[in-house]
Amino acid sequence: MPHRNQTIGGLIKIVESYDKKADFDIIRLAYDFANEAHKDQTRRSGEPYITHPLAAAYILANMSIDPVIIVATLLHDVPEDTSRTLEEIKENFGTEIYTLVKGITKLGKLKYRGVERYIENLRKMFIAMAEDVRVMIMKFADRIHNLTTLDALPPQKRYRIALESLEIYAPIANRLGMDEMKGQLEDLSFKFVYPKEYERVKKMRDEKLQGKEKYFKHVIDITKKELDNSNISIISIQGRNKKLYSLYKKLLNKNNEVARIYDIIAIRIIVDNIAKCYATLGILHSVWKPIKGRIKDYIAQPKPNGYQSLHTTVFAEGGEAVEFQIRTLEMDEDAEYGIAAHWHYDEQGNKRPTKEIKWVQELAKIQKDILNKLSDLEEMKIDFLQTRIFVLTPKGDVIDLPEKATPVDFAFHIHSDIGNKCTGVRVNEKMVSLDTELRNGDIVDIIIDKNRKGPSADWLKFVKTHTAKEHIINYTRPKSTIAKFFNILPRKGEK
């Protein structure tokens, strides 16, 4: 990030490009206020301190984010690092900006030190999110800029900050659906946390991509022509490289066989509306043969974090596998910005009306739980930060579970009664055992025995979700020493 070219004038120009009615005086005032407050401070790199809040504000302006958040970002380090107080910010900038700056100040300069700190950091972040999720948007921008200037820090500190970004910030950004920021946090941290793997994966990707530009351009040209022939106007079409860290994780799952990864480059097509998305899919399939099992309709069945798109991999020119992603502009913005899309301005300069998405409600639920029972945080953290899968009920409802969840987790997720009485399961119409690890897209049909007394303590050995564990423990815990004394044991075979 070339700070040298970043100025308050430049920032205002970007904001003006998407919000003509923004209060530019306040933006300028915030900059002057922060500049004055930090005037004797420098960054580790030797640059004036103000370059940091300014760069963080630039990151958000480049995402067309609400100017209120940008003002707060300019001020974000003032209360903690200077003699200016939060009260002064309230007097000068009003309650809303004060609240945002207070939120990020409370998060503090988090330090990554072992598991306890990790939990403590998470707790603070969940609370901040519960109070105002905009604070996390600011925090991500702050962290992204810090990661781009890590070279100025001693190696040990560099590693700690990068590790924390990878293990805490990126998964939260992911849960908030903020793909763009998640990707940046991961790739910026990756090379400091796993330098060897970073080099290896980068080399692998570069080799795979070498000389492919012409090929992809050719495929894109054919696509454009075909869509044009069918009168489908394209808003945009471009090749997108897979991010390095996400490629690394995928390689781990595929025994490092790069040949089995089809989306190192994906061609993303943006069209006007949903009907045209499906029409585009049909046209692609009439030109090139789709690969079986690689067509995914995330429009009809969005991912739990709200992601919508059609994906398909086809044997394109010369029989080479190419992935396409087809979506509308709104879906694209949701995918890139996630929850931040609510504070993002579209090309006409309008802010999106707030729309309740399922996972936003779910997030609120998780947060409430966490605030109520902080002692269970370790458990919650595992549920929340694990990679999620989504599976389907026989009726087609999408259920969001952590990776490696089992049919028993699924059953308790639906209802405690279903969990308590479940005796078997059909996954994709086949009978399987209750400890089977579920996979994305599985259709799960729980078989119930109405006469069953309750869950088996054995299930604790394989369930993954907090909900399932809690129900099973509550049910199977010996009620009292009297019960133990009379040797009242669970039914045979359940121990």
- Please say which residue, 26 or 147, places its beta carbon nearer to Mn ion: 147
Among 19, 77, 323, 332, binds Mn ion (CB under 5 A): 77
- Please say which residue, 77 or 179, places its beta carbon nearer to Mn ion: 77
Binding segment for Mn ion (CB under 5 A), chosen from 2-10, 141-149, 174-182, 201-209, is 141-149
- Please say which residue, 80 or 379, places its beta carbon nearer to Mn ion: 80
User: Cβ of residue 173: shortest distance to Mn ion, in angstroms?
Assistant: 17
- Please say which residue, 19 or 77, places its beta carbon nearer to Mn ion: 77
User: Cβ of residue 8: shortest distance to Mn ion, in angstroms?
Assistant: 17
User: Cβ of residue 73: shortest distance to Mn ion, in angstroms?
Assistant: 9
Report the distance separating Cα 450 and Cα 423, nearest Å.
9
Nearest to 186 by CA among 172, 205, 200: 172
DSSP character string of 387-426: PEEEEE-TT--EEEEETT--HHHHHHHH-HHHHHTEEEEE
Report the distance separating Cα 71 and Cα 93, nearest Å.
9
Residue number, nearest CB to Mn ion: 142
Both structure tokens of 355: 């729309």
Binding mask 175-204 for Mn ion (x = CB under 5 A): ------------------------------
- Please say which residue, 142 or 263, places its beta carbon nearer to Mn ion: 142
Binding segment for Mn ion (CB under 5 A), chosen from 69-77, 316-324, 388-396, 462-470, is 69-77
Binding segment for Mn ion (CB under 5 A), chosen from 73-81, 132-140, 253-261, 397-405, is 73-81
| 412, 417, 418, 419 alpha-carbon torsion, rounded to 10° | 40
- Please say which residue, 66 or 77, places its beta carbon nearer to Mn ion: 77
User: Cβ of residue 10: shortest distance to Mn ion, in angstroms?
Assistant: 19
Q: Does 58 bind Mn ion (CB under 5 A)?
A: no
Q: How many residues bind Mn ion (CB under 5 A)?
A: 2
Q: Does 332 bind Mn ion (CB under 5 A)?
A: no
Distant-in-sequence, close-in-space partners of 119: CB < 8 Å, separation ≥ 6: 377, 378, 381
**So which residues are the catalytic ones?**
80-81
Report the distance separating Cα 263 and Cα 253, nearest Å.
14
User: Cβ of residue 104: shortest distance to Mn ion, in angstroms?
Assistant: 8
Q: Please, is 197 exposed, middle or buried when counting C-beta atoms within 10 Å of its C-beta (0-12, 13-18, 19+)?
A: middle
Q: Does 136 bind Mn ion (CB under 5 A)?
A: no
Binding segment for Mn ion (CB under 5 A), chosen from 72-80, 227-235, 245-253, 423-431, is 72-80
Q: Does 142 bind Mn ion (CB under 5 A)?
A: yes
- Give whole-number Cα distances, 120 to 102, 124, 276, in Å: 18, 6, 47
Distant-in-sequence, close-in-space partners of 2: CB < 8 Å, separation ≥ 6: none
Alpha helices in 24-154 (DSSP H): 24-37, 51-61, 67-74, 78-81, 86-93, 95-107, 114-131, 134-148
Determine the 3-state secondary structure of 310 from DSSP.
Answer: strand
User: Cβ of residue 39: shortest distance to Mn ion, in angstroms?
Assistant: 16
Residues that bind Mn ion (CB under 5 A): 77, 142
